Structure 1
Amino acid sequence: MGVFSESVEVACSPGGQPVRLVWGNRTYRIVAEPVRWYQRRSWWAEEQRAELGRGAGLVDHEIWRVQVRLNERSQVRTLDLSRQGNPGRWRLIKIHVAIQSMSA
């Protein structure tokens, strides 16, 4: 697949790291250490005006790359999630496609 945006439900550890997510009525367990970074967003094109005192989430998106699986027999998937705003709304924004190695 590629880049898109779909709402997901994410449960986090007390430290704020994703530990599982619900996507398409299925619960996925995170199986590797998640990676977090911040990505600049085009807030000037998306917002009519910046409210006084508003800063968190306006300029940058918090992005998490996670590896998930449904169960021990299922394939591991790599997903990028975006956490938006104080209430912690989560969006699935990218599904990475595994490249199969070619054997000669």
Structure 2
Amino acid sequence: MGVFTEPVEVACSPAGEPVRLVWGNRTWRIVAEPVRWYQRRSWWAEEQRAEPGRGAGLVDHEIWRVQVRLEGHRQIRTLDLSRQGNPGRWRLIKIHDAVRSMSA
């Protein structure tokens, strides 16, 4: 599993679910229902102080696991994306098939 952070552009459905993303100057289409959860972040180590009225994104990160494919390709990749803030900055934080493809 490759773990890092890289900005990506994500287009969402009206319900707020990712439907496609631009990563590496290529457009990837979501091919399975994405899964969302929230992950606690170490805000006390990353922030000097919490500003009054600031809460969204301070304690938890919104994480989406998506399966994507390039148009015309068969290979499906599983990625974890993090959405931070509102309207939301998206970051690619994990590529699940990176170790398998490097060791094959």
Are residues 1:49 and 2:20 paired? no
State the one-letter code of the partner of 1:9.
E
State the one-letter code of the partner of 2:5.
S
Number of residue pairs matched?
100
Q: What does 1:53-92 correspond to in 2, within 5 Å?
A: 53-92=53-92
Q: Deviations over 1:9-59 (max 9, x none)?
A: 000000000000000100000000000000000000001100001111000
What's the TM-score once normalised by structure 2's chain length?
Answer: 0.91
CA drift of 1:97 comes to 1.4
Which residue number corresponds to residue 24 of structure 1?
A: 24
Are residues 1:39 and 2:50 paired? no
Considering fraction of residues, name the structure with more helix: 2
What's the TM-score once normalised by structure 1's chain length?
Answer: 0.91
State the one-letter code of the partner of 1:54.
R
Which residue number corresponds to residue 13 of structure 1?
A: 13
Q: Distance in 2 between matches of 1:47 and 1:93?
A: 20
Q: Distance in 2 between matches of 1:87 and 1:32?
A: 24
State the one-letter code of the partner of 1:57.
G
The CA RMSD measured in Å over matched residues stands at: 1.4
CA drift of 1:74 comes to 3.0
Q: Distance in 2 between matches of 1:34 and 1:72?
A: 21
Structure 1 stretches of 4+ with a deviation exceeding 6 A read none
